[in-house]
């Protein structure tokens, strides 16, 4: 379990070889054997004995800001287990099983995109027919991915790009009636819809990269995205199943008329969230991350799904993967 400190006035100390978590008159003790990481979002009292207990148990302590960006880490200087895990991770990236894993992540992403199109079709009945056709096309791509005929990086990228073009083209035709959105733009965005997508993905990148770190994985060693990509490559691989969550949140915001000009700083060539926009969006994003949903047969908070995916990968590499 990940021990999250998200309230002010919390103290963490060591008692009888356990973590004692207190806030006011309420306290509880947790065995270090049940803890895989400690994440601190709000200032707290953290005793040296608690830090040493975490170090001895191989538990990383991470300090994060309100956007989910890691500010600092405390961990044991003994990286023997991390070295073993990372060596296996390198072999996994060039193994056929690594490509199969990427196909599974992309399949989950496409399933999320299909769910978003169906959601939008139920909200905008006039566009139900064309959204259903787009969802059917994505289903065909998903079935092709399931057949495992795409075990090369080039073929995987082509299938993902095909799904993306179908998804965004259909989405833009509908959403432009609620907020200017002609096509998917990365950086810089020129409209509020793309601007919010980019900012949301940025926050999601932070959450995914932190999950990599907490699991002992090396975020720089990717499978589909190469090491020379210039940014945490594994993060770009493992973020895929979770992107549709951000898409849905932006869609809901547009449908409800919340993408107001006062939230954005717009020029002829760019559009960015301003301070007011960030104060509105960041709590909304964090609230979304605490929502429970089904993924891979489990109903968990969305932030816990992210951690579970990475922790499961780390456990598989250490215990089952044969180089």
Where residue 265 sits, what CATH number does that domain have? 1.20.120.920
Output the pTM of the full model: 0.78
Q: Output phi, psi for 206, to 5 deg.
A: -60, -45
Q: Give the pLDDT of residue 143.
A: 87
For residue range 224-238, list pLDDT tens digits in order: 876 655 567 899 999
Residues 21 and 45 in one domain: yes
Average pLDDT on 29-52 reads: 89
73 & 90 share domain: no
Residue 179 shares a structural domain with residue 134: yes
pLDDT in the model for residue 78: 59
Give yes or no: residues 92 and 201 share one domain: yes
Coil, strand or helix: which one is 12? strand
Q: How many domains does the chain have?
A: 2
Regarding whether 64 and 96 lie in a shared domain, the answer is no
Mean pLDDT of 245-249: 97
Cα Rg of the chain, angstroms? 21
Q: What is the mean pLDDT of the chain?
A: 88
Q: Are residues 133 and 241 in the same domain?
A: yes
Residue of higher predicted confidence among 274 and 243:
243
Candidates 49, 68, 72; CA nearest to 60 is: 72
pLDDT class of 80 with cuts at 50, 70, 90: very low
Q: Determine the average pLDDT of the residues in 121-139.
A: 91
Phi, psi of 8 (to 5 degrees): -75, 155
Q: Are 29 and 177 in contact (CB under 8 A)?
A: no
Domain ranges, residue 67 = 2-78
Q: What is the predicted pLDDT for the residue at 194?
A: 93
Question: Do both 60 and 169 map to the same domain?
Answer: no
Same domain, 127 and 59: no
Read off the pLDDT band of 64 (50, 70, 90).
confident
- 196 and 74 belong to one structural domain: no
More confident residue, 30 or 268: 30
Section 170-182 average pLDDT: 90
């Amino acid at each position: 379990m990940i021990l999250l400190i998200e309230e002010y006035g919390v103290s963490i100390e060591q008692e009888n070889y356990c973590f004692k978590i207190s806030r006011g008159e309420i306290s509880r003790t947790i065995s270090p054997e049940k803890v895989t990481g400690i994440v601190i979002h709000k200032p707290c009292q953290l005793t040296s004995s608690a830090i040493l207990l975490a170090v001895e148990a191989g538990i990383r302590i991470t300090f994060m800001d309100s956007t989910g960006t890691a500010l600092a880490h405390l961990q044991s200087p003994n990286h023997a287990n991390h070295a073993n895990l990372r060596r296996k991770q390198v072999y996994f990236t060039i193994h056929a099983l690594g490509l199969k894993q990427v196909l599974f992540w992309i399949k989950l992403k496409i399933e999320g995109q299909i769910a978003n199109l169906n959601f939008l079709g139920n909200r905008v009945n006039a566009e139900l027919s064309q959204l259903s056709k787009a969802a059917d096309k994505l289903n065909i791509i998903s079935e092709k991915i399931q057949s495992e005929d795409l075990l090369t990086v080039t073929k995987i990228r082509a299938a993902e790009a095909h799904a993306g073009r179908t998804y965004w083209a259909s989405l833009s035709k509908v959403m432009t009636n609620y907020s200017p959105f002609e096509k998917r733009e990365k950086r810089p965005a020129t409209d509020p819809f793309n601007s919010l997508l980019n900012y949301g993905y940025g926050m999601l990148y932070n959450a995914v990269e932190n999950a990599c770190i907490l699991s002992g994985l090396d975020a720089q060693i990717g499978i589909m995205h190469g090491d020379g990509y210039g940014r945490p490559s594994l993060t770009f691989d493992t973020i895929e199943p979770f992107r549709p969550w951000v898409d849905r949140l932006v869609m809901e915001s547009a449908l409800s008329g919340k993408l107001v000009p006062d939230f954005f700083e717009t020029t002829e060539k760019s559009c960015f969230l301003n301070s007011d926009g960030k104060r509105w969006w960041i709590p909304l994003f964090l609230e979304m991350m605490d929502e429970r949903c089904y993924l891979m047969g489990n109903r968990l908070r969305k932030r816990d799904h992210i951690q579970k995916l990475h922790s499961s990968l780390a456990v598989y590499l250490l215990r089952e993967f044969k180089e």
